[in-house]
Amino acid sequence: MKKNKFAIVTGGSRGIGLGIAKVLADKGYNIGLISINSNRLSTAAIELSNIYPDIDVYTYSADVSNAERVSEAISFFTKKHAKVDVLVNNAGLFEKGSIDSFDLSDYQLLVMTNQFGSFNMLKCIIPVMKQQKSGYIFNIASMSGLRALADHGAYASTKFALIGLSQSLRKEMLPYGVKVTAICPGVVATDMTANIAITEEDKIQPEDVGKLISCCLDMSHSVSIDYIPVECSSQV
């Protein structure tokens, strides 16, 4: 058990984020969860603590698009664990629709959460990892950030942006011993994909994304991974 290790997961109260948190907890990481929904955060923390009683689970309710709240969250976590070994930028929204029918306020919400939310987290965590000269940042993007589908333009644009941000940051952080990888999953079995016409068994499972992250963490220091695409086998 790596009881001195600490990972922060945004959007960690359910879906992909909770699946990732479970895999990291199983590896012995203490966990910091961020979510906008305080009730779901409490439920997730109780679930993790019951399954993994030997780890510490901390929660902070915050909207990642709010830079001030993100700064407060990182201050809270770093008082618990001075060293942050892993950041998973997972918080995000999904909405589809043609460009001409897409409401501007809905697009702004996508951008603020999927792009600004990740940027706000990075802005706060990069100085921490630079100082400690270690760490691993995972940005949860999407296959839509690599290959956009019809009626996914608004969502895809935010994920293309996140991949670009991740790729640039990967090169910036290498001299500091910090790794950065974008994970680009297809359809994952979460509430947001409930209406997609693929059976739940044929969708990527949230823990599968966590297992990809686990594999990256097990790689030698000399390995630098740009991005990882992962698709449902039924959609290949």
Catalytic residue from among 29, 107, 136, 155 = 155
Quick one: 82 exposed, middle or buried, by C-beta within 10 A (0-12, 13-18, 19+)? exposed
Helical pair 15-26 and 38-51, crossing angle rounded to 10 deg: 30
155 among known catalytic residues:
yes
Tokens describing residue 71: 């700064």
Residue 122: left if φ>0, alpha if ψ -120 to 50, beta else—which one?
alpha
Rounded distance between C-alpha atoms, residue 94 and residue 156, angstroms:
9
Residue 149 DSSP one-character state: P
The residues annotated with a catalytic role in the active site are 155
